[in-house]
Amino acid sequence: MFTFIVRRLIQTIPVLIGVTILTFGLMHLIPGDPAQIMAGESASPAQVEQMRERLGLNEPMPVQYTTYVTNAIQGDLGNSIRSGRSVTSEISGRFWVTMELAIYSTILSVFIGLIAGIISATKHYTLTDVVIMIIALFGLSMPNFWLGLMLIQWFAIGFDIGPINTGWFSASGWGSWQQIVLPVITLGTAGAAIIARMTRSSMLEVIGQDYIRTARAKGVKERVVIYRHALKNALIPVVTVVGLQFGGLLGGAVLTETVFAINGMGRLIIDAIRARDFPIVQGTVLVFSLLFVFVNLLVDIAYRFLNKRIDLN
Residue 162 pLDDT: 63
d(CA 228, CA 222): 10
> Residue 155: how many CB atoms within 10 A of its CB?
19
The conformation of residue 275, written as its DSSP 8-state character, comes to T
d(CA 18, CA 1): 27
Angle between helices 231-259 and 87-122 (to 10 degrees): 130
- The total of structural domains in the chain comes to 1
d(CA 38, CA 275): 9
Residue 112 pLDDT: 92
- 265 with 274: CB under 8 angstroms? no
The pLDDT tens digits along the chain (313 residues) read 667 677 777 877 888 788 788 877 776 776 666 677 666 667 778 877 887 777 777 778 888 888 878 888 887 877 787 777 888 888 887 888 888 898 899 899 999 999 999 999 888 888 998 999 999 888 888 888 888 888 888 888 877 666 667 678 888 888 788 889 999 999 888 888 989 998 898 888 888 788 888 888 888 887 788 877 788 778 878 887 887 777 777 777 888 888 898 888 888 888 888 777 778 888 888 888 888 878 877 777 776 666 655 555 5
222 belongs to a structural domain: yes
Amino acid at 24: F
Amino acid at 220: V
167 belongs to a structural domain: yes
d(CA 101, CA 144): 14
268 belongs to a structural domain: yes
Q: How many CA atoms lie within 13 A of 126 on its CB side?
A: 7
55 belongs to a structural domain: no
Angle value at C-alpha 149, between 143 and 154, nearest 5 degrees: 125
Q: Helix (H, G, I), strand (E, B), or coil: what is residue 48? A: helix
CATH code of 215's domain:
1.10.3720.10
171 belongs to a structural domain: yes
d(CA 154, CA 148): 10
184 belongs to a structural domain: yes
- Domain span at residue 186 reads 97-306
Phi, psi of 250 (to 5 degrees): -65, -40
146 belongs to a structural domain: yes
